[in-house]
Amino acid sequence: MTPTLYGIANCDTIKKARKWLERNNVNYVFHDYKKSGVTKDMLTDWALELGDWEVLLNRRGTTFKNLPDVAKENVTEEIALSLMVENPSMIKRPVLVCDGGVMVGFKSTDYETILA
């Protein structure tokens, strides 16, 4: 399986992850979910693999912070998945999907382990 890196092209962390993959000669596919979207099924599968949907939700970003307080306080899995489909900026980045599983965020040591 060719690893797929999910994210937004202009994200600094995505740029770091892509540089690492290229420096380490890892063939990968980049999926920009601002352009190509993300489905609820994809997010559900990732959450199952990760064991927790909250790992995917970027609560630090401005998109989430701009939600009304009542919406931020009462986020359920169903609501979070819908919000992330509608607003891919709310998904933590990057998401790497490969034979080794699903990983959220970028740390070179973790990439070395999961892509070994």
Active site residues: 11
Q: Are 56 and 50 in contact (CB under 8 A)?
A: yes
Backbone region of residue 105 per phi and psi (left: phi > 0; alpha: psi in -120 to 50; beta: other values):
left
Element (H, E) at 104: strand 101-104
Q: Which amino acid is at 37?
A: G
User: Using an 8 Å Cβ cutoff, are 8 and 89 in contact?
Assistant: yes
Residue type, 76: T
